[in-house]
């Protein structure tokens, strides 16, 4: 699967995003080319996992891969529960923050080679991360590759019935915005429409945040059970902060 590099590069090199994560607050936005601003909830992402997050984490099964983990509140909460969890993010500031909270994280795009491919029990796409890459079908396809057969994907969707592909820039509304990159915004109905070949495993809204749970096909030649030790040791073998966002196997 080839990476949509524009998205990964834009987040990885976005100074306003890194600065907001370091400060623990916004304002920070995704700005569409028509000037429309989508506020990013940096304060919530930098806080501890809240009731709604914890409910999502209660639903996770086995080993968990948090895709686009940001500053790592979910990774830290799962790690504190003694769960096997890895966060991945293209932003160095996000990975550093996650590691400081006591979580394991890799600086890596979801479209690059990852540890435990085809063996994760749960993949998380939270806080609008179904938008990563701007191509929901490609992202769902990649999630299916990462999960074990019959694995669980939990995705947070937009609180509106939308299905849009946009080009956005990250901006704090003061400094000049960086390069435009593709992003997608999807409500639950749209995500379910794109999820051909997945089984519906749940749909709920909590605290005004909608979620969809999907189960990947259970037929595959690599139907091996997940190996917790193998996943964790392959994570430990890599140092998060020194890594390039470009994959190295």
Q: Decide: is 26 part of the binding site for ligand SAM (CB under 6 A).
A: no
Q: Decide: is 8 part of the binding site for ligand SAM (CB under 6 A).
A: yes
| 38 strand-pairing partners | 30
Picking from 147, 154, 142, 138, the residue whose alpha carbon sits closest to that of residue 194 is 138
Binding track over 150-189 against ligand SAM, x by CB under 6 A: ----------------------------------------
Q: Which residues of 127-150 are buried (b: 16+ CB within 10 A; e: fewer)?
A: bbbbbbbbbbebbbebbbbbbbbe
| Closest approach of ligand SAM to the CB of residue 30, in Å | 8
Give the SS3 label for residue 202: strand
Q: Decide: is 90 part of the binding site for ligand SAM (CB under 6 A).
A: yes
| Closest approach of ligand SAM to the CB of residue 223, in Å | 27
Q: Give CA separation, 3 vs 9, 135, 233, 247, in Å.
A: 10, 11, 25, 10
Taking CB under 6 A as the criterion, the residue among 88, 144, 154, 170 binding ligand SAM is 88
Picking from 184, 215, 182, 211, the residue whose alpha carbon sits closest to that of residue 198 is 215
Stretch that binds ligand SAM, among 65-73, 78-86, 193-201, 225-233 (CB under 6 A): 65-73
Stretch that binds ligand SAM, among 122-130, 161-169, 197-205, 212-220 (CB under 6 A): 122-130
Q: Decide: is 71 part of the binding site for ligand SAM (CB under 6 A).
A: yes
Alpha helices per DSSP H over the chain: 5-12, 15-23, 42-46, 51-59, 73-80, 92-100, 136-146, 188-194, 228-236
Asked whether the beta carbons of 103 and 75 are under 8 A apart, the reply is yes
Residue closer to ligand SAM by CB (options 114, 152) is 114
Taking CB under 6 A as the criterion, the residue among 91, 122, 171, 235 binding ligand SAM is 91
Q: Decide: is 98 part of the binding site for ligand SAM (CB under 6 A).
A: no
Chain residues binding ligand SAM by CB under 6 A are 7-8, 11, 45, 67-71, 73-74, 88-91, 94, 109-111, 126-129, 132-133
């Amino acid at each position: 699967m080839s990476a949509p590099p524009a998205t990964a590069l834009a987040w990885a090199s976005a100074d306003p995003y890194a600065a907001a994560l370091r400060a623990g607050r916004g304002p920070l936005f995704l700005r569409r080319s028509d000037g429309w601003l989508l506020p990013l909830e940096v304060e919530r992402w930098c806080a501890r996992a809240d009731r709604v997050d914890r409910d999502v984490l209660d639903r996770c099964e086995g080993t968990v891969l948090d895709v686009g983990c940001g500053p790592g509140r979910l990774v830290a909460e799962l790690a504190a529960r003694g769960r096997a969890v890895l966060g991945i993010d293209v932003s160095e500031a996000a990975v550093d923050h996650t590691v400081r909270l006591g979580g394991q994280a890799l600086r890596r795009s979801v479209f690059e080679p990852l540890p435990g491919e085809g063996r994760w029990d749960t993949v998380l796409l939270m806080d609008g991360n179904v938008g990563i890459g701007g191509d929901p079908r490609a992202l769902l396809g990649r999630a299916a590759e990462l999960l074990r057969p019959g694995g669980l994907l939990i995705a947070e969707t937009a609180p509106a019935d939308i299905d849009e592909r946009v080009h956005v820039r990250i901006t704090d509304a003061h400094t000049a915005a960086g390069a435009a990159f593709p992003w997608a915004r999807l409500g639950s109905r749209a995500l379910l429409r794109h999820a051909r070949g997945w089984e519906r495993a749940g749909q709920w809204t909590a605290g005004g945040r909608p979620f969809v749970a999907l189960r990947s096909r259970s037929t595959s030649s690599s139907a091996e059970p997940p190996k917790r030790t193998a996943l964790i040791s392959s994570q430990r073998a890599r140092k998060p902060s020194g890594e390039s966002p470009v994959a190295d196997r």
